[in-house]
């Protein structure tokens, strides 16, 4: 039987107290809902339908271009009502797996177990035992079999003592689910159409209901407020870091790193505390990331060391580069092997060839720097005339003295030397010293002003 997955994502998430719809709240740098959508794709569903409603435009825009079916639930009348919206275009021949957009840590492995344990004409719910089940729907069993699900607000005191809860994941043959949903009522504490009421109907129709238990309570955690969002973030980070450690990546403290994207590492990479990794980041063999670094969408070559407090975005380095402390690499910074970008150095949209050094207090923008160049402290490429950006080209082996302004467009020749403090506006030839300075003057007999009245 084919598999259809329906993801419920129409709820407002009032308890988030946010203008952002709940399913777009970020977890590991991307919307809650995208974690569930990815899981659905891994399961190989032939049809993935998202039921959306609250914050509709925003939700659609966030998933623009992805292959998904969308069903609008204009008013939210409960989880059963939500699933109904997805049914018209769901093939009768399929099994339907219902997932919640606010249960983002579920793994494909757990769902595969549920699918494998359930025959085509059976129903299944994924459950878990919780020490504190408050707020969740409870699983009522009789002689070990699931007979009913009851919401917290409708539960008797005795039922409230049950520790086995409904994670929200439900599996059913499509045809039967459609028939049961048609008979659903809303005579309950919340006046909603509960998806969970389907279970009692299944049982009275003689259909087997499997209660499959998840092993890990983090995995089935429902996110309703910012506290649970933060708990889920830590749980997911722990999972990501565990996977990386298993591949040999070293962390000073697995609890003090945040990976919001994909981190790919070579051998013997070491990451000190407070690293934030965003987007696609690749670290070559032996890369060391010291404390307090943000690295976003960048590729660092083998043996590169990122000293403390750098901000690196959209950059690439070759092997054995040294960055920081306190360096900022902006998009388009391309460093070849053995390049140094030291403290308070900002590099944007520039290529720096092998072995060049930009060690202190410098801005390099829209530049092409050759091999073995030394850029002195406090040098600035003046790339912007207020309207357009212009390029600076520096030849191999050039030596730029401290405090130089290179007013682009400008070209510095190979092995040229630029005297400290110069403002260079014209081409500087190869192998020569070029400088631009007013003559030094000493005024004899000059006195410092004295304070009036004293």
How many C-beta atoms lie closer than 10 Å to residue 8's C-beta? 31
Question: Which conformational region is residue 216 in: left (phi greater than 0), alpha (psi within -120 to 50 degrees), or beta?
Answer: beta
Segment near Ca ion (CB under 5 A); pick from 73-81, 221-229, 358-366, 412-420: 221-229
Instruction: For helices 108-116 and 32-42, give the axis angle rounded to 10 degrees.
Output: 50
Residues 6+ apart with CB under 8 A from 427: 410, 411, 412, 413
- Closest CB 137 distance from Ca ion, rounded Å: 10
DSSP assignment letter at 382: E
How far, in Å, CA of 351 to CA of 201, rounded?
A: 67
Within positions 22 to 51, which residues make up the interface with ligand UD1, using CB under 6 A? 51
Residues 6+ apart with CB under 8 A from 282: 263, 264, 265, 298, 299, 300
| Residue 136 touching ligand UD1 (CB under 6 A) | yes
Segment near ligand UD1 (CB under 6 A); pick from 62-70, 76-84, 315-323, 332-340: 76-84
Active site residue 360: yes
Using CB under 6 A, pick the residue from 25, 34, 73, 237 that binds ligand UD1.
73
| Residue 11 touching ligand UD1 (CB under 6 A) | yes
Segment near Ca ion (CB under 5 A); pick from 32-40, 218-226, 274-282, 286-294: 218-226
Segment near ligand UD1 (CB under 6 A); pick from 9-17, 118-126, 363-371, 372-380: 9-17
Within positions 239 to 258, which residues make up the interface with ligand UD1, using CB under 6 A? none
Using CB under 6 A, pick the residue from 4, 25, 34, 79 that binds ligand UD1.
79
| Residue 171 touching ligand UD1 (CB under 6 A) | no
Using only C-alpha atoms, what is the Rg of the chain? 31
Segment near ligand UD1 (CB under 6 A); pick from 59-67, 105-113, 165-173, 421-429: 165-173
**Of these partners, Ca ion, ligand UD1, none, which one is at the site of residue 76 (CB under 5 to 8 Å by kind)?**
ligand UD1
DSSP assignment letter at 254: T
Using CB under 6 A, pick the residue from 18, 58, 76, 264 that binds ligand UD1.
76
Burial of 77 (0-12, 13-18, 19+ CB in 10 A): middle
CA neighbor of 205 nearest in space, from 173, 236, 157, 229? 173
| Residue 222 touching Ca ion (CB under 5 A) | yes
- Closest CB 118 distance from ligand UD1, rounded Å: 19
| Residue 100 touching ligand UD1 (CB under 6 A) | yes
**Catalytic residue among 35, 54, 307, 360, which?**
360
| Residue 102 touching ligand UD1 (CB under 6 A) | yes
Q: Which two tokens stand for residue 14?
A: 């009032």
> For residue 288, what are the CA distances in angstroms to 268, 293, 328?
9, 11, 17
Using CB under 6 A, pick the residue from 172, 196, 292, 317 that binds ligand UD1.
196
**Sign of the four-CA dihedral 398, 403, 354, 332:** negative
| Residue 261 touching Ca ion (CB under 5 A) | no
Provide the pairing of β-strand 164-173 with 123-129.
antiparallel
How far, in Å, CA of 308 to CA of 289, rounded?
A: 8
Element (H, E) at 30: strand 30-31
CA–CA–CA angle 82, 84, 90 (5° rounding) = 115
> Does residue 169 sit in helix, strand or coil?
strand
Residue nearest to Ca ion (CB): 222
- Closest CB 31 distance from ligand UD1, rounded Å: 12
Within positions 48 to 67, which residues make up the interface with ligand UD1, using CB under 6 A? 51
* Site size toward Ca ion, by CB under 5 A: 1
Q: Which is nearer to Ca ion, 23 or 335 (CB)?
A: 23
- Closest CB 11 distance from Ca ion, rounded Å: 7
Using CB under 6 A, pick the residue from 48, 71, 174, 195 that binds ligand UD1.
195
Please state the φ and ψ torsions of residue 152, each to the nearest 5 degrees: -45, -50
Within positions 365 to 394, which residues make up the interface with ligand UD1, using CB under 6 A? none
CA neighbor of 354 nearest in space, from 375, 335, 341? 335
| Residue 81 touching ligand UD1 (CB under 6 A) | yes
Q: Which is nearer to ligand UD1, 82 or 259 (CB)?
A: 82
- Closest CB 77 distance from ligand UD1, rounded Å: 5
- Closest CB 222 distance from Ca ion, rounded Å: 4
3-state SS of 261-303 is EEEEECCCCEECCCEEEEEEEEECCCCEECCCEEEECCEECCC
* Site size toward ligand UD1, by CB under 6 A: 29
Catalytic residues: 360
Residues that bind Ca ion (CB under 5 A): 222
Residues that bind ligand UD1 (CB under 6 A): 8-11, 51, 73, 76-79, 81-82, 100-103, 136-137, 149, 151, 165-168, 194-196, 222, 224
């Amino acid at each position: 039987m084919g598999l259809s997955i329906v993801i419920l994502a129409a709820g407002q998430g009032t308890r988030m107290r946010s203008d952002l719809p709940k399913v777009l709240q970020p977890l590991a740098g991307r919307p809650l809902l995208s974690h569930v959508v990815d899981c659905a794709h891994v399961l190989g569903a032939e049809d993935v339908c998202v039921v959306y409603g609250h914050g509709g435009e925003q939700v659609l825009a966030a998933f623009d271009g992805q292959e998904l079916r969308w069903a609008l639930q204009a008013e939210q009348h409960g989880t059963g009502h939500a699933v109904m919206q997805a049914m018209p275009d769901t093939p009768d021949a399929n099994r339907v797996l219902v997932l919640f957009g606010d249960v983002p840590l579920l793994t494909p492995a757990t769902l595969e177990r549920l699918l494998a344990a359930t025959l085509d004409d059976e129903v299944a719910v994924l459950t878990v035992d919780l020490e504190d089940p408050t707020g969740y729907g409870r699983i009522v069993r009789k002689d070990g079999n699931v007979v009913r699900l009851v919401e917290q607000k409708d539960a008797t005191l005795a039922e409230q003592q049950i520790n086995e809860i409904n994670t929200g994941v439900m599996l059913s043959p499509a045809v039967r689910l459609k028939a049961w949903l048609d008979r659903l009522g809303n005579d309950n504490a919340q006046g909603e159409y509960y998806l969970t009421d389907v279970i009692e109907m299944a049982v009275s129709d003689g259909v087997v209901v499997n209660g499959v238990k998840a092993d890990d309570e983090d995995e089935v955690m429902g996110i309703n407020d910012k506290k649970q969002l933060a708990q889920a973030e830590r749980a997911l980070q722990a999972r990501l870091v565990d996977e990386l450690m298993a591949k040999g990546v070293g962390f000073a403290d697995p609890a003090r790193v945040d990976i919001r994207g994909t981190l790919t590492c070579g051998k013997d990479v070491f990451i000190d505390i407070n690293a934030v990794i965003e987007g696609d980041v690749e670290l070559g063999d032996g890369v060391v990331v010291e404390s307090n670094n943000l690295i976003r969408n960048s590729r660092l070559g083998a043996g590169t060391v990122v000293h403390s407090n750098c901000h690196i975005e959209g950059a690439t380095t070759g092997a054995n580069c040294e960055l920081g402390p306190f360096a900022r690499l902006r998009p388009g910074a391309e460093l070849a092997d053995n390049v140094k970008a030291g403290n308070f150095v900002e590099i944007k949209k520039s290529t720096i060839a092998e072995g060049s050094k930009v060690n202190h207090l410098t801005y390099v923008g829209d530049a092409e720097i050759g091999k073995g160049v030394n850029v002195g402290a406090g040098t600035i490429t003046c790339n912007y005339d207020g309207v357009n950006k212009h390029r600076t080209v520096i030849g191999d082996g050039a030596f730029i003295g401290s405090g130089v302004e290179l007013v682009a467009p400008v070209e510095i020749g190979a092995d040229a030397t630029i005297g400290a403090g110069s403002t260079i506006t014209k081409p500087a030839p190869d192998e020569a010293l070029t400088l631009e300075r007013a003559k030094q003057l000493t005024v004899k007999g000059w006195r410092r002003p004295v304070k009036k009245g004293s």
